[in-house]
Structure 1
Amino acid sequence: MRDILEAVADGSLSPAEAEARLAGYATTGAGRFDAARETRRGVPEAILAEGKTPDETATIAVAAVETSGRALVTRASADHAEAVADALPDCTIDRDARAKTVVACDSSFERPDLDATVGIVTGGTSDAEAAGEASVVLREMGVSVERVEDVGVAHLGRVLDHLDLLREVDVLVVAAGREGALPTVTAGLVDTPVIGLPVSTGYGHGGDGEAALLGMVQSCTVLSVVNIDAGYIAGAQAGLVARAISDARQSE
């Protein structure tokens, strides 16, 4: 604790950074930011913009940068993204409009670099939003990402054309809507861990991702499943597996 207080006194540590180190989180007028999550859990904390005003999102993003050097915002509209950029003019801003993510980094931030690769697979173009969110989380965790797009099981040949790549990566996140068959089929063809990401595409009975979720949960092949449209969770879970693989390679 004395080291932290001395660092604040000599100006090398801001009061916000000191609070985060002591309490494990930073308190703002818009909520609390879990600044210790990445150190504690190995997963970067995300600011869910959905349900927050642009100003609230920007306020927490500023606290995130002050305490960790980076802000990762998910489910961000154009207004959320603009507010974050305006509040952090000295940061590098990376916005993925399709994935609805915003990442702001200050000049001192360095991403980790893991020796592992995750494949992100989509059944169709409509699955790109959730898959993109997973991809951004993985990038922020330092994982290399290979994307395989639009290989739904309506034509199984599309999956088989990419089979060599699917077998080479360390982990797979497979996103699919409708009946959610793609993760099940893929898991039966590879020996890598597969994380099923059900997506809220489809219509009629079982639409909005419900049929996809149930189909993946009932898979007769071995895979894990996250909730509907839970790209952040799928990416974080794949990233944790990738980190374990990377650590094992480094210790060889």
Structure 2
Amino acid sequence: MRELLEAVADGSLSPSAAEAQLRGYVTGEAGRFDAARKQRRGIPEAILAEGKSAPQVVALAETALETTGRALVTRADDRQVEALEASLEETFPDATLERRGSTVRVLAADYEPPSLEATVGIVTAGTVDGPVADEAEVVCADAGATIDRIDDIGVAALNRTLDQVDRLCEADVLIVAAGREGALPTVIAGLVDTPVIAVPVSSGYGHGGDGEAALAGLLQSCTVLSVVNIDAGFVAGAQATLIARAIDGARDDSRSN
């Protein structure tokens, strides 16, 4: 405790960082940031930008950088990203901002990214599924997994799927995003011995549109797979990360023995 107080007093540790070490979370005007989630759960907290103002997103992202060295922001729009970029130029000028679609990752200059000896295959049925897959990809890449991205292999032309079976089998875990009737994850899960996490996507129209038909079909899948909620790329990425981390740990144990 005394060391923390002395570090705050001499300026080598910010009050937010000290609070994070003491409580595990930091309280600010934009809410509470769970700085200890990675140690507790294995997955760092992400900041959902949807429904938040640009200043709130900026405040939470800066708190994340200050206490954990990185910030992951999902469902961010252009206005929020522009506000974050402008603020970082003043508060964290040496930070690196990476954007993929609506998902943003910011790394402090001294942050050391983790590394996992595990490959996550991320698959889309069509181009419209890309943004959801992007979110999952950033989460897995942030955890240090190797990513193998396979796009646009929907079952409307089944040969596109069959052409990729060998590659799909090489992944340690697969995330498969599909809208419409959600057939692709079921088909792939019947072809590989790899864990498959299915992500129904809110594409399609008419009866069962907005991902409802895909979700219902995947929940009734006759092949063994796991299903997350509609458009839940972050959840799929987090689940795949936990599996990848377990595989990495098993490989470490195997090498040790």
Match of 2:172 among 170, 175, 191: 170
Displacement after TM superposition at 1:111 (Å)? 1.1
C-alpha contact 1:44 1:140 (8 A) present in aligned 2: no
Residues 174-228 of structure 1: CA deviation (Å, up to 9, x unaligned): 0000000000000000001000000000000000000000111100000000000
In the alignment, residue 117 of structure 1 is paired with which amino acid? T
Match of 1:241 among 231, 238, 243: 243
Distance 2:40 2:7 in 1: 22
- Alignment pair present for 1:153 and 2:155: yes
Distance 2:5 2:213 in 1: 55
Distance 1:7 1:194 in 2: 47
Distance 1:248 1:9 in 2: 43
After alignment, is 25-34 or 176-185 more displaced?
25-34
Distance 2:176 2:160 in 1: 14
Match of 1:201 among 200, 203, 209: 203
SS at match of 2:140: helix
C-alpha contact 1:35 1:45 (8 A) present in aligned 2: yes
Distance 2:162 2:192 in 1: 11
Distance 1:5 1:55 in 2: 29
The aligned counterpart of 2:58 is 58
Displacement after TM superposition at 1:5 (Å)? 2.5
Distance 2:4 2:185 in 1: 48
Distance 2:2 2:225 in 1: 48
Runs of 4+ in 1 over 2 A off after TM superposition: 1-12
Q: 1:76-225 alignment to 2 at 5 Å?
A: 76-89=76-89, 90=93, 91-96=95-100, 98=101, 100-225=102-227
Distance 1:237 1:4 in 2: 34
Q: 1:17-32 alignment to 2 at 5 Å?
A: 17-32=17-32
Displacement after TM superposition at 1:44 (Å)? 1.8
In the alignment, residue 253 of structure 2 is paired with which amino acid? S
In the alignment, residue 166 of structure 1 is paired with which amino acid? L
The aligned counterpart of 2:15 is 15
In the alignment, residue 36 of structure 1 is paired with which amino acid? A
Distance 1:65 1:196 in 2: 31
Distance 1:217 1:3 in 2: 52
Distance 1:164 1:191 in 2: 11
Distance 1:93 1:186 in 2: 34
Displacement after TM superposition at 1:38 (Å)? 1.1
Backbone CA RMSD of aligned residues: 0.9
In the alignment, residue 41 of structure 2 is paired with which amino acid? R
Gaps of 5+ in 1: none
SS at match of 1:172: strand
Distance 1:110 1:238 in 2: 21
TM-score of the aligned structures, taking structure 2 as reference length: 0.95
Gaps of 5+ in 2: none
TM-score of the aligned structures, taking structure 1 as reference length: 0.97
Distance 2:83 2:52 in 1: 12
Displacement after TM superposition at 1:9 (Å)? 3.3
Displacement after TM superposition at 1:23 (Å)? 1.1
Identity %: 62
